[in-house]
């Protein structure tokens, strides 16, 4: 079921500063910021050849990463995203095995315009897992 690593996401308190550090200090290619109001975040992607790093900054009230940044004020690893061929089939299989799908259980459109779901970190050893239909 599980395919390639699509990205690793890092929550950061200041997206402009983080993007500048990746672009300047680390010499990486960084995309323009993209606001995702449905997800409560603004994102940029860093291209590192074999995968991408997603930098996330809170957007609006009740952002799902606000509490994370309160606990980790300088930022930190927020989630990993794996690709699946069929997100609805993956969700149904996970739910049947007792894994918790966050939100209403229906895929939302992610940063790449493809359907995504998040799985409860307590079911996957303390790491929030995102699935994206490839
Ligand atoms: Co992500």
Q: What is the bridge-based pairing of β-strands 29-30 and 5-11?
A: unpaired
When pLDDT is averaged across residues 36-44 and rounded to a whole number, the result is 93
Strand partners, 79: 9, 128
**From the CA of 117, how far away is ligand 1's center (Å)?**
9
Listed by start position, the domains of the chain span: 2-133
- Summarised one tens digit per residue, pLDDT across range 75-132 is 999 999 999 999 999 999 999 999 999 999 999 998 889 999 999 999 999 999 999 9
CA–CA distance, 28 with 47 (Å, rounded to integer): 7
- pLDDT tens for 9-34 read 999 999 999 999 999 999 999 999 99
CATH for the stretch 2-133: 3.10.180.10
CA of 131 to the centre of ligand 1 (A): 8
Q: What is the rounded CA–CA span in Å between residue 96 and residue 100?
A: 10
pLDDT for residue 128: 96
Residue 101: closest CA among 85, 118, 126:
118
3-state DSSP of 77-106: EEEEEEEECCHHHHHHHHHHCCCCECCCCC
| pLDDT cut 70: percent of the chain above it | 100
Helices (H) and strands (E) in the chain, counts: 3, 9
- What residues are labeled active site? 130
Model confidence at 38, in pLDDT bands (50, 70, 90)? confident
The Cα 47–Cα 4 span in angstroms is: 15
* Ligand 1 center from residue 24 Cα (angstroms): 23
């Amino acid at each position: 079921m599980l395919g390639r690593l699509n990205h690793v996401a890092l929550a950061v308190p200041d997206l402009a500063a983080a993007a500048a550090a990746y672009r300047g200090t680390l010499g990486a290619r960084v995309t323009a910021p993209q606001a995702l109001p449905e997800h409560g975040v603004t994102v940029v992607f860093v291209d590192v050849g074999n995968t991408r790093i997603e930098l996330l900054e809170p957007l609006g009230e009740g952002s799902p990463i606000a509490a994370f940044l309160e606990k980790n004020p300088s930022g930190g690893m927020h989630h990993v995203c794996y690709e699946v061929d069929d997100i609805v089939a993956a969700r149904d299989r996970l739910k049947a095995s007792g894994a918790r799908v966050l939100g209403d259980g229906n895929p939302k459109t992610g940063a790449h315009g493809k359907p995504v779901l998040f799985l409860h970190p307590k079911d996957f050893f303390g790491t929030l897992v995102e699935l994206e239909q490839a």
